Amino acid sequence: MSLPYGQPIEVAQNIKRITCNNPSPLTGAGTNSFLIGTSDLALVDPGPIDDAHCQAIMDALEKDQRISHIFVTHSHLDHSPLAARVASITGAKVHALGDSTTGRSDVMSALAQTDALKRGEGVDQQFAPDVRLNEGQVIEHAGWRITAHHTPGHFANHMSFAVDDVELCGDLIMAWATSLVAPPDGDLTQFITSCEQTRTRAARRLLPAHGEAIEDPQKRIEWLINHRMERTAQIIRTLEAGPQTPKELTQQIYSDINPNLWPAAEQNVLAHLIDLMTKKRVSPEGILSIQSKFRLLEKIPS
Protein backbone atom coordinates (compact mmCIF):
# COMPACT_ATOMS: atom_id res chain seq x y z
CA MET A 1 0.00 0.00 0.00
CA SER A 2 1.34 3.41 -0.94
CA LEU A 3 -0.26 6.82 -1.11
CA PRO A 4 1.09 9.88 -2.96
CA TYR A 5 3.09 11.87 -0.42
CA GLY A 6 2.66 15.60 0.02
CA GLN A 7 -0.17 15.94 -2.51
CA PRO A 8 -3.64 17.21 -1.51
CA ILE A 9 -6.18 14.59 -2.59
CA GLU A 10 -9.92 15.29 -2.36
CA VAL A 11 -11.46 12.38 -0.43
CA ALA A 12 -14.89 13.88 0.36
CA GLN A 13 -16.71 17.11 -0.31
CA ASN A 14 -14.49 19.95 0.94
CA ILE A 15 -12.09 17.48 2.60
CA LYS A 16 -8.56 16.99 1.29
CA ARG A 17 -6.01 14.43 2.50
CA ILE A 18 -2.25 14.96 2.60
CA THR A 19 -0.14 11.91 3.48
CA CYS A 20 3.16 12.28 5.32
CA ASN A 21 6.16 10.29 4.11
CA ASN A 22 6.57 8.34 7.37
CA PRO A 23 5.70 4.74 6.45
CA SER A 24 6.36 1.97 8.99
CA PRO A 25 4.80 -1.27 10.27
CA LEU A 26 2.70 0.83 12.69
CA THR A 27 1.85 3.79 10.42
CA GLY A 28 1.21 1.89 7.21
CA ALA A 29 1.71 4.19 4.21
CA GLY A 30 2.09 7.18 6.55
CA THR A 31 0.04 9.64 8.60
CA ASN A 32 -2.91 11.30 6.87
CA SER A 33 -3.56 14.97 7.59
CA PHE A 34 -6.91 16.43 6.51
CA LEU A 35 -7.94 19.95 5.45
CA ILE A 36 -11.65 20.71 5.84
CA GLY A 37 -13.51 23.66 4.37
CA THR A 38 -13.26 26.18 1.55
CA SER A 39 -11.86 29.39 3.05
CA ASP A 40 -11.02 29.19 6.74
CA LEU A 41 -9.86 25.58 6.99
CA ALA A 42 -9.74 23.06 9.81
CA LEU A 43 -6.59 20.93 9.87
CA VAL A 44 -6.99 17.48 11.47
CA ASP A 45 -3.85 15.61 12.61
CA PRO A 46 -0.90 17.77 11.50
CA GLY A 47 1.41 14.77 11.94
CA PRO A 48 4.99 14.23 13.13
CA ILE A 49 7.80 16.76 13.13
CA ASP A 50 8.58 16.65 9.42
CA ASP A 51 9.68 19.73 7.48
CA ALA A 52 8.51 18.42 4.11
CA HIS A 53 5.06 17.53 5.45
CA CYS A 54 4.68 20.90 7.12
CA GLN A 55 5.54 22.58 3.83
CA ALA A 56 3.11 20.33 1.96
CA ILE A 57 0.29 21.35 4.28
CA MET A 58 1.01 25.04 3.78
CA ASP A 59 1.45 24.58 0.00
CA ALA A 60 -1.98 22.92 -0.17
CA LEU A 61 -3.65 26.20 0.77
CA GLU A 62 -5.17 27.96 -2.20
CA LYS A 63 -5.39 31.71 -2.66
CA ASP A 64 -7.45 33.35 0.10
CA GLN A 65 -7.40 30.16 2.21
CA ARG A 66 -5.96 29.92 5.71
CA ILE A 67 -5.88 27.37 8.53
CA SER A 68 -8.13 28.73 11.27
CA HIS A 69 -8.45 25.64 13.51
CA ILE A 70 -6.24 22.64 14.29
CA PHE A 71 -7.71 19.38 15.60
CA VAL A 72 -5.73 16.40 16.93
CA THR A 73 -7.25 12.93 17.19
CA HIS A 74 -4.66 11.79 19.77
CA SER A 75 -1.16 12.49 20.97
CA HIS A 76 1.01 9.79 19.49
CA LEU A 77 4.23 11.10 17.95
CA ASP A 78 3.02 10.49 14.40
CA HIS A 79 -0.07 12.68 14.89
CA SER A 80 0.34 15.63 17.23
CA PRO A 81 3.88 17.14 17.40
CA LEU A 82 3.57 19.24 14.23
CA ALA A 83 0.49 20.96 15.67
CA ALA A 84 2.56 23.47 17.65
CA ARG A 85 4.59 24.48 14.59
CA VAL A 86 1.54 24.91 12.36
CA ALA A 87 -0.14 26.88 15.14
CA SER A 88 2.84 29.23 15.37
CA ILE A 89 2.77 29.77 11.58
CA THR A 90 -0.97 30.27 11.23
CA GLY A 91 -2.12 31.55 14.62
CA ALA A 92 -4.72 28.76 14.77
CA LYS A 93 -5.56 27.19 18.13
CA VAL A 94 -5.08 23.46 18.75
CA HIS A 95 -8.23 21.54 19.73
CA ALA A 96 -8.22 18.11 21.41
CA LEU A 97 -9.64 16.23 24.38
CA GLY A 98 -6.63 16.98 26.57
CA ASP A 99 -3.04 15.96 27.25
CA SER A 100 -1.67 12.45 26.90
CA THR A 101 -3.14 11.19 30.19
CA THR A 102 -6.65 12.57 29.66
CA GLY A 103 -9.37 9.96 29.27
CA ARG A 104 -7.64 7.04 30.95
CA SER A 105 -9.81 4.56 32.80
CA ASP A 106 -9.21 4.07 36.51
CA VAL A 107 -7.57 0.72 35.79
CA MET A 108 -5.11 2.18 33.29
CA SER A 109 -4.39 5.21 35.46
CA ALA A 110 -3.39 2.87 38.28
CA LEU A 111 -1.25 0.77 35.93
CA ALA A 112 0.51 3.85 34.59
CA GLN A 113 1.62 4.75 38.10
CA THR A 114 3.42 1.42 38.54
CA ASP A 115 5.69 1.89 35.49
CA ALA A 116 5.54 -1.89 35.16
CA LEU A 117 4.42 -1.96 31.53
CA LYS A 118 6.32 -1.26 28.33
CA ARG A 119 4.82 1.38 26.03
CA GLY A 120 3.74 0.31 22.59
CA GLU A 121 4.10 3.53 20.63
CA GLY A 122 5.78 6.90 21.09
CA VAL A 123 3.74 9.31 23.19
CA ASP A 124 3.89 13.08 22.75
CA GLN A 125 4.46 13.91 26.40
CA GLN A 126 4.61 17.66 25.65
CA PHE A 127 1.20 17.82 24.00
CA ALA A 128 -1.29 20.25 25.52
CA PRO A 129 -4.17 21.66 23.45
CA ASP A 130 -5.21 25.30 23.54
CA VAL A 131 -8.88 24.28 23.56
CA ARG A 132 -10.13 21.17 25.39
CA LEU A 133 -13.05 19.46 23.70
CA ASN A 134 -15.89 17.49 25.26
CA GLU A 135 -17.83 14.49 23.96
CA GLY A 136 -20.42 15.66 21.45
CA GLN A 137 -19.11 19.21 21.28
CA VAL A 138 -19.88 20.99 18.02
CA ILE A 139 -17.50 23.50 16.45
CA GLU A 140 -18.85 25.55 13.56
CA HIS A 141 -16.88 28.03 11.46
CA ALA A 142 -16.92 29.44 7.92
CA GLY A 143 -19.21 26.87 6.36
CA TRP A 144 -17.98 23.71 8.12
CA ARG A 145 -19.36 21.93 11.18
CA ILE A 146 -17.35 19.39 13.18
CA THR A 147 -18.74 17.22 15.98
CA ALA A 148 -16.12 15.81 18.37
CA HIS A 149 -16.53 12.32 19.82
CA HIS A 150 -14.33 10.82 22.53
CA THR A 151 -13.28 7.42 21.16
CA PRO A 152 -10.64 5.96 23.53
CA GLY A 153 -9.18 2.50 23.16
CA HIS A 154 -6.20 2.92 20.88
CA PHE A 155 -5.23 5.91 23.05
CA ALA A 156 -6.94 7.46 26.06
CA ASN A 157 -7.36 10.98 24.63
CA HIS A 158 -8.42 9.75 21.19
CA MET A 159 -11.19 11.69 19.46
CA SER A 160 -13.01 11.20 16.18
CA PHE A 161 -14.41 14.13 14.22
CA ALA A 162 -17.70 13.91 12.30
CA VAL A 163 -18.25 16.18 9.30
CA ASP A 164 -21.74 15.73 7.82
CA ASP A 165 -21.98 11.98 7.04
CA VAL A 166 -18.20 11.41 7.10
CA GLU A 167 -16.20 10.64 10.24
CA LEU A 168 -12.46 11.18 10.62
CA CYS A 169 -11.71 8.26 12.92
CA GLY A 170 -7.97 8.62 13.57
CA ASP A 171 -6.38 5.31 14.57
CA LEU A 172 -9.53 3.75 16.02
CA ILE A 173 -10.61 2.03 12.80
CA MET A 174 -8.40 1.37 9.77
CA ALA A 175 -8.87 -0.69 6.62
CA TRP A 176 -5.30 -1.96 6.24
CA ALA A 177 -4.73 -3.27 9.78
CA THR A 178 -6.21 -3.59 13.24
CA SER A 179 -5.32 -0.83 15.68
CA LEU A 180 -2.60 -1.41 18.24
CA VAL A 181 -4.00 -1.37 21.78
CA ALA A 182 -0.99 -1.00 24.11
CA PRO A 183 -1.64 -0.54 27.86
CA PRO A 184 -1.69 1.72 29.74
CA ASP A 185 -2.28 4.17 26.85
CA GLY A 186 -4.49 1.67 25.04
CA ASP A 187 -7.49 0.00 26.66
CA LEU A 188 -9.32 -2.89 25.01
CA THR A 189 -12.50 -2.39 27.05
CA GLN A 190 -12.67 1.22 25.86
CA PHE A 191 -11.74 0.17 22.32
CA ILE A 192 -14.73 -2.16 21.96
CA THR A 193 -17.06 0.47 23.41
CA SER A 194 -15.74 3.13 21.02
CA CYS A 195 -16.16 0.81 18.03
CA GLU A 196 -19.75 0.06 19.04
CA GLN A 197 -20.54 3.76 19.49
CA THR A 198 -19.00 4.57 16.10
CA ARG A 199 -21.12 1.86 14.52
CA THR A 200 -24.23 3.38 16.12
CA ARG A 201 -23.45 6.82 14.63
CA ALA A 202 -23.58 5.11 11.21
CA ALA A 203 -21.29 7.40 9.20
CA ARG A 204 -21.45 6.79 5.45
CA ARG A 205 -17.67 6.80 5.17
CA LEU A 206 -14.74 6.67 7.61
CA LEU A 207 -11.50 8.53 6.92
CA PRO A 208 -8.73 6.94 9.02
CA ALA A 209 -5.42 8.59 9.85
CA HIS A 210 -3.54 5.82 8.03
CA GLY A 211 -4.51 4.25 4.72
CA GLU A 212 -7.48 4.64 2.43
CA ALA A 213 -11.08 5.54 3.22
CA ILE A 214 -13.42 2.88 4.60
CA GLU A 215 -16.45 2.76 2.33
CA ASP A 216 -18.45 0.20 4.34
CA PRO A 217 -17.99 1.23 7.99
CA GLN A 218 -20.60 -1.17 9.38
CA LYS A 219 -18.94 -4.19 7.82
CA ARG A 220 -15.46 -3.14 8.92
CA ILE A 221 -16.47 -2.36 12.51
CA GLU A 222 -18.35 -5.64 12.82
CA TRP A 223 -15.25 -7.48 11.60
CA LEU A 224 -13.01 -5.65 14.09
CA ILE A 225 -15.25 -6.43 17.06
CA ASN A 226 -15.58 -10.08 16.04
CA HIS A 227 -11.81 -10.26 15.52
CA ARG A 228 -11.20 -9.05 19.09
CA MET A 229 -13.75 -11.51 20.47
CA GLU A 230 -12.08 -14.35 18.57
CA ARG A 231 -8.66 -13.27 19.84
CA THR A 232 -9.96 -13.28 23.42
CA ALA A 233 -11.34 -16.78 22.96
CA GLN A 234 -8.00 -17.87 21.47
CA ILE A 235 -6.11 -16.52 24.49
CA ILE A 236 -8.43 -18.34 26.88
CA ARG A 237 -8.04 -21.61 24.99
CA THR A 238 -4.25 -21.26 25.04
CA LEU A 239 -4.25 -20.54 28.79
CA GLU A 240 -6.10 -23.79 29.41
CA ALA A 241 -2.70 -25.48 29.06
CA GLY A 242 -1.46 -23.55 32.09
CA PRO A 243 -0.21 -20.10 33.18
CA GLN A 244 1.74 -18.19 30.52
CA THR A 245 3.26 -14.77 29.94
CA PRO A 246 2.04 -12.38 27.23
CA LYS A 247 5.21 -13.17 25.28
CA GLU A 248 4.58 -16.92 25.41
CA LEU A 249 0.98 -16.42 24.35
CA THR A 250 2.03 -14.14 21.51
CA GLN A 251 4.50 -16.62 20.06
CA GLN A 252 1.81 -19.28 19.92
CA ILE A 253 -1.13 -17.16 18.80
CA TYR A 254 0.78 -15.01 16.29
CA SER A 255 2.97 -17.80 14.92
CA ASP A 256 1.98 -16.84 11.36
CA ILE A 257 3.37 -13.28 11.39
CA ASN A 258 6.88 -11.86 11.12
CA PRO A 259 8.58 -12.21 14.54
CA ASN A 260 9.66 -8.57 14.20
CA LEU A 261 6.00 -7.70 14.80
CA TRP A 262 5.73 -9.79 17.97
CA PRO A 263 6.52 -6.90 20.36
CA ALA A 264 3.49 -4.96 19.06
CA ALA A 265 1.35 -8.12 19.11
CA GLU A 266 2.46 -8.74 22.70
CA GLN A 267 0.99 -5.38 23.67
CA ASN A 268 -2.33 -6.41 22.13
CA VAL A 269 -2.26 -9.71 24.01
CA LEU A 270 -1.60 -7.83 27.25
CA ALA A 271 -4.58 -5.56 26.52
CA HIS A 272 -6.81 -8.63 26.15
CA LEU A 273 -5.46 -10.08 29.39
CA ILE A 274 -6.15 -6.85 31.30
CA ASP A 275 -9.68 -6.77 29.87
CA LEU A 276 -10.12 -10.36 31.08
CA MET A 277 -8.71 -9.34 34.48
CA THR A 278 -11.39 -6.66 34.88
CA LYS A 279 -13.98 -9.33 34.08
CA LYS A 280 -12.40 -11.66 36.65
CA ARG A 281 -11.59 -14.30 34.04
CA VAL A 282 -7.80 -14.34 34.48
CA SER A 283 -5.31 -13.29 37.13
CA PRO A 284 -1.58 -12.44 37.02
CA GLU A 285 0.82 -14.27 39.29
CA GLY A 286 2.30 -11.56 41.49
CA ILE A 287 2.37 -7.86 40.57
CA LEU A 288 0.94 -7.09 37.15
CA SER A 289 3.58 -6.52 34.47
CA ILE A 290 4.20 -7.57 30.90
CA GLN A 291 6.45 -10.34 32.28
CA SER A 292 3.70 -11.75 34.52
CA LYS A 293 2.34 -15.23 34.04
CA PHE A 294 -1.45 -15.19 33.75
CA ARG A 295 -3.71 -18.04 34.79
CA LEU A 296 -7.34 -18.78 34.11
CA LEU A 297 -9.78 -18.34 36.96
CA GLU A 298 -12.35 -20.44 35.16
CA LYS A 299 -12.70 -22.39 31.95
CA ILE A 300 -15.26 -21.74 29.24
CA PRO A 301 -17.17 -24.86 28.22
CA SER A 302 -16.23 -25.85 24.66
Q: What is the pLDDT of residues 138-174, one digit of tens each?
A: 999 999 999 999 999 999 999 999 999 999 999 999 9
| Tens digits of residue pLDDT in 42-70 | 999 999 999 999 999 999 999 999 999 99
CA distances from 107 to 27, 47, 158, 289 (A): 27, 29, 17, 13
Task: Answer yes or no: is pLDDT of 288 > 90.
Answer: no
SS3 92: coil
- The number of angstroms, rounded, from the C-alpha of 219 to the middle of its chain's C-alpha atoms is 19
Nearest CA to 132 out of 89, 83, 71 is that of 71
Distance CA 302, CA 254 (A): 22
β-strand partners of 206:
167, 214
Return the percentage of the chain with pLDDT > 70, whole number: 95
Q: Is 198 exposed, middle or buried (CB count within 10 Å of its CB: 0-12, 13-18, 19+)?
A: buried
Task: Answer yes or no: is pLDDT of 120 > 50.
Answer: no
Residue 201: enclosing H or E segment and its boundaries? helix 188-201
Q: Is the distance from CB of 35 to CB of 8 less than 8 angstroms?
A: yes
Nearest CA to 36 out of 121, 202, 118, 147 is that of 147
- What is the 8-class DSSP label of residue 76? B
Torsion of CA 210, 49, 157, 231, to 10 degrees: 40
Task: Answer yes or no: is pLDDT of 92 > 70.
Answer: yes
Going by pLDDT thresholds of 50, 70 and 90, the confidence category of residue 85 is: very high
Q: What is the mean pLDDT of residues 269-296?
A: 93
Q: Is the distance from CB of 174 to CB of 210 less than 8 angstroms?
A: yes
Task: Answer yes or no: is pLDDT of 121 > 70.
Answer: no
Task: Answer yes or no: is pLDDT of 178 > 70.
Answer: yes
Q: How many CB atoms lie within 10 A of CB 299?
A: 11
Task: Give the start-end residues of each E strand in the chain.
Answer: 9-12, 15-19, 32-36, 40-44, 66-71, 93-96, 131-132, 138-141, 144-150, 159-163, 166-170, 205-208, 282-284, 294-296
pLDDT attached to residue 107 = 87
Task: Answer yes or no: is pLDDT of 225 > 60.
Answer: yes
Q: Is the distance from CB of 82 to CB of 49 less than 8 angstroms?
A: yes
Q: Is the pTM above the cut of 0.85?
A: yes
User: For helices 217-239 and 262-278, what crossing angle results, to 10°?
Assistant: 80
| Tens digits of residue pLDDT in 12-31 | 999 999 999 999 988 999 99
Return the percentage of the chain with pLDDT > 90, whole number: 83
Task: Answer yes or no: is pLDDT of 118 > 80.
Answer: no
